[in-house]
Amino acid sequence: AQTVTQSQPEMSVQEAETVTLSCTYDTSESDYYLFWYKQPPSRQMILVIRQEAYKQQNATENRFSVNFQKAAKSFSLKISDSQLGDAAMYFCALPINNAGNMLTFGGGTRLMVKP
């Protein structure tokens, strides 16, 4: 079964600095997608970035980028030039195989940004 693990319950970063959130996963599939979602205090789930497993190039969205290591089943999120608005819960997610594309989520990492 697919599993997603986020080993950092909490992280903090100084404003304008860079932070990396870790995610490891397990799947028997060779082709799949991986996602990072952000949940600010408003509780709205917002898609941050998406990675396709068959693409070797790491995905990038403005200040957000991933370090995708397929062999190691690692999918970390790097946030550059951190801003106060980046403070949120961050969830790594993986579609469950043969299950209507339902997502399985990691336990989340709470990111605090210090001014």
Partner 1 sequence: DTAVSQTPKYLVTQMGNDKSIKCEQNLGHDTMYWYKQDSKKFLKIMFSYNNKELIINETVPNRFSPKSPDKAHLNLHINSLELGDSAVYFCASSQAGGTYEQYFGPGTRLTVT
Length in residues, the chain:
115
Toward partner 1, which CB reaches closer, 18 or 54? 54
Judged by CB under 8 A, the residue of 11, 20, 22, 105 near partner 1 is 105
33 is a contact residue toward partner 1 (CB under 8 A):
yes
Burial of 33 (0-12, 13-18, 19+ CB in 10 A): middle
CB of 16 to partner 1, least distance (A): 27
Task: Give the residue from 79, 80, 83, 74 showing the smallest Cα distance to 106.
Answer: 74
CB-based burial of residue 56 (10 Å sphere; 0-12 exposed, 13-18 middle, 19+ buried)?
exposed
Are the beta carbons of 102 and 1 closer than 8 angstroms? no
- Whichever of 4 and 79 has its CB closer to partner 1, that residue is 4
Identity of the residue, 35 or 68, whose beta carbon is nearer to partner 1 in the bound complex: 35
Size of the site for partner 1 (CB under 8 A): 25
Which residues between 38 and 67 bind partner 1 (CB under 8 A)?
39, 42-47, 50, 52
Nearest distance, CB of residue 66 and partner 1, angstroms: 14
